[in-house]
């Protein structure tokens, strides 16, 4: 029995366990109860008339990176309808705010063959654009079996994923065979994909460079800026477990030398806000939680910004930003978001998901890598003490983030064989 056949068998006989797992996720708020049927392949909206492009992204970062491509497809092929799927509640909420008008959002079905077939029977996509590297066997193989072309966009293969898939060469080769074309973020990603069996893999650039700066509400920005006043401030963004404690230690080390220092902590998962605040309070720091409606007071040491979708607000307020999931957890987060908003970037060394971007940003003078809490305190302190150095690094980061243009155009060009000739500028003006 092949690996994929065994997977299908296990997902069928394991149905009770899958249902139990999903029920527990619903109980913890990790599934959308009102739209849960979508996770079982049951649509909540009708299929629009005309040719349909289905785009899939796993979660927040991947879905945001697809928005510029969605706009490019709409601009060049206005007669095509677009369906966007994601898998998390947070990404669905963000897509409700960020998706262009006319794009349908659905939760991606759980990867059981019955759910996937029910989903495809209803939506009948003419093309599938699959983001990054989440290869679910049924979701990938079933459209290919039906003759629907699949294109991997912004394809990524981290060192960890690459090593794991090398242990299952027949399975990954079979999955990659389902893609008509693989467009990778970097030449390294393209090489890894080709080695694993994607003969069509090539580098088209990273869509994260094409993403618009994270938004911020003008009223909220003005209000928080006034609360901070002239205090020196730095940001620990997208923190994971253990990094709030590090941020607190950095604050304690720097506060004697930077009068009125304010540390802002934005947990990657907003539901960890109370936990993060408790850790910082236990360390002897005065904290305020945004989700609890607590304001920044003169005595506040650390402001825990545990709300969803406001990271752009705090990047705008912070001349120095540490990017989390890089000291106590591995993977990193997207440093381009900070660079676009004039923050001098600092990150830990564990950035496997953004390895090449981070390396290139460091080489461009826009970021620094620190190995531990002590080095982070030193780096933040140096930037706060030297505004010119901080501004220079922020400018270098911003220039780097703006430097890789044309990625959307490159991908649009690669889609012509699947979608036909795009609408030319003169025809677009007459449309």
pLDDT in tens, 369-386: 999 999 999 999 999 999
Q: What is the pLDDT of residue 80?
A: 97
In sign, the C-alpha dihedral spanning 140, 350, 200, 197 is: negative
| Residue 272 in tokens | 């960890």
Please indicate whether residue 228 or residue 355 has the higher confidence score (pLDDT): 228
The SS3 call for residue 153 is strand
- Expressed in angstroms, the distance from the first to the final Cα of the chain is 54
Q: Is the pLDDT of residue 426 over 70?
A: no
Q: Which residues contact 356 (CB under 8 A, 6 or more apart)?
A: 185, 186, 188
Q: Is the pLDDT of residue 311 over 60?
A: yes
SS3 labels along 328-350: CCCCCCCCHHHHCCCCEEEECCC
Q: What is the pLDDT of residue 1?
A: 59
Averaged pLDDT score across all residues of the chain: 94
Q: What is the pLDDT of residue 429?
A: 52
Partners of residue 129 on adjacent β-strands = 55, 151
Q: What is the pLDDT of residue 96?
A: 93
The SS3 call for residue 116 is helix
Residue 375, classified by CB atoms within 10 Å of its CB into exposed (0-12), middle (13-18) or buried (19+), is middle
Q: What is the pLDDT of residue 59?
A: 82
Q: What is the pLDDT of residue 424?
A: 64
Distance CA 261, CA 279 (A): 19
Provide the percentage of residues in the chain whose pLDDT is more than 90: 87
The DSSP code for 366 is S
Q: How many CA atoms, within 13 angstroms, populate the side-chain half-sphere of residue 37?
A: 6
Distance CA 69, CA 52 (A): 15
pLDDT-based confidence at 430, cuts 50/70/90?
low
Q: What is the pLDDT of residue 20?
A: 93
Q: Is the pLDDT of residue 428 over 80?
A: no
Q: What is the pLDDT of residue 407?
A: 93
Residue 330, classified by CB atoms within 10 Å of its CB into exposed (0-12), middle (13-18) or buried (19+), is middle
Give the closest residue to 310 by CA, choosing from 382, 394, 197, 224: 224
State the DSSP string of 254-286: HTTTSTT-EEEEEESSGGGHHHHHHHHHHTT--
Q: Mean per-residue pLDDT for 234-254?
A: 98
Q: Mean per-residue pLDDT for 97-107?
A: 95
Token pair 């006034």 in the structure block, residue: 226
Q: Is the pLDDT of residue 61 over 70?
A: yes
Q: Is the pLDDT of residue 60 over 90?
A: no
Q: Is the pLDDT of residue 210 over 70?
A: yes
| Residue 373 in tokens | 């809490």
pLDDT in tens, 256-283: 999 999 999 999 999 999 999 999 999 9
The 8 Å CB, 24+ separation contacts for 37-42 are 38/106, 38/107, 38/109, 39/107, 39/108, 39/109, 39/110, 39/115, 40/109, 40/110, 40/115, 40/118, 41/109, 41/114, 41/115, 41/116, 41/117, 41/118, 41/119, 41/122, 42/118
pLDDT-based confidence at 202, cuts 50/70/90?
very high
Cβ proximity of 209 and 398 under 8 Å: no
Distance CA 23, CA 110 (A): 13
Pure H helices in 89-242: 89-98, 113-123, 137-145, 159-165, 169-177, 187-196, 218-228
Least confident of 37-41, 60-64, 123-127: 60-64
Report residue 344 CA to chain centroid gap.
20
Domains of the chain with bracketed CATH? 3-206+405-426 (3.40.50.11720), 218-403 (3.40.50.2000)
Distance CA 104, CA 34 (A): 17
Q: Which residues are catalytic, by number?
A: 62
Phi, psi of 109 (to 5 degrees): -70, 150
The 8 Å CB, 24+ separation contacts for 288-297 are 295/227, 296/224, 296/227, 296/228, 296/262
Q: Mean per-residue pLDDT for 177-198?
A: 96
Give the closest residue to 83 by CA, choosing from 118, 119, 116: 119
Token pair 């003490």 in the structure block, residue: 385
Provide the percentage of residues in the chain whose pLDDT is more than 70: 98
Helix (H) or strand (E) holding 238: strand 233-239
Q: Which residues contact 422 (CB under 8 A, 6 or more apart)?
A: 76, 77, 412, 416
Q: Mean per-residue pLDDT for 307-329?
A: 96
Cβ proximity of 83 and 113 under 8 Å: no
Q: How many CA atoms, within 13 angstroms, populate the side-chain half-sphere of residue 277?
A: 18
């Amino acid at each position: 029995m092949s690996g994929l056949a065994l997977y299908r068998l296990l997902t069928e006989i394991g149905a009770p366990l899958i249902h139990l797992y999903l029920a527990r996720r619903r109980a913890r708020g990790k599934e959308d109860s009102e739209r849960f049927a979508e996770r079982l392949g049951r649509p909540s909206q009708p299929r629009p008339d005309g040719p349909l492009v289905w785009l899939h992204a796993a979660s927040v970062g991947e879905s945001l990176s697809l928005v510029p491509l969605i706009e490019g497809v709409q601009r060049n092929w206005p007669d095509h309808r677009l369906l966007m799927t994601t898998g998390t509640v947070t990404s669905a909420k963000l897509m409700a705010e960020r998706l262009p008008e006319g794009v349908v959002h659905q939760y991606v079905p759980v990867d059981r063959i019955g759910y996937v077939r029910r989903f495809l029977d209803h939506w009948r996509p003419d093309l599938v654009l699959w983001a990054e590297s989440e290869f679910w066997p049924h979701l990938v193989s079933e459209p290919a079996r039906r003759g629907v072309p699949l294109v991997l966009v912004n394809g990524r293969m981290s060192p960890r994923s690459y090593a794991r898939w090398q242990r299952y060469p027949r399975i990954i080769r079979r999955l990659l065979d389902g893609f008509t074309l693989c467009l990778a973020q970097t030449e390294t990603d393209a090489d890894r994909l080709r080695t694993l069996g994607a003969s069509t893999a090539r580098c088209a650039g990273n869509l994260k460079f094409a993403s618009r700066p994270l938004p911020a509400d003008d009223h909220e920005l003005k209000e928080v800026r006034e609360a901070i006043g002239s205090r020196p401030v730095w940001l620990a963004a997208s923190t994971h477990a253990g990094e709030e404690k590090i941020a607190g230690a950095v604050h304690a080390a720097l506060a004697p030398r930077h009068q009125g220092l304010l540390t802002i902590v934005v947990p990657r998962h907003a539901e960890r806000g109370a936990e993060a605040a408790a850790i910082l309070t236990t360390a002897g720091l005065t904290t305020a939680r945004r989700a609890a409606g607590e304001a920044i007071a003169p005595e506040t040491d650390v402001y825990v910004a545990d709300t969803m979708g406001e990271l752009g607000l705090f990047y705008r307020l912070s001349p120095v930003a540490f990017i989390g999931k890089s000291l106590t957890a591995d993977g990193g987060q997207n440093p381009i978001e900070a660079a676009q908003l004039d923050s001098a970037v600092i990150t830990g060394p564990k950035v496997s998901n953004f390895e090449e971007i981070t390396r290139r940003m460091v080489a461009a003078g826009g970021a620094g890598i620190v190995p531990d809490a002590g080095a982070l305190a030193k780096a933040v302190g140096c930037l706060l003490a030297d505004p010119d150095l901080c501004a220079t690094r922020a400018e270098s980061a911003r220039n780097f983030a703006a430097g890789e243009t044309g990625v959307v155009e490159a991908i649009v060009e690669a889609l012509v064989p699947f979608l036909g000739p795009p609408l030319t500028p003169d025809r677009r003006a007459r449309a």
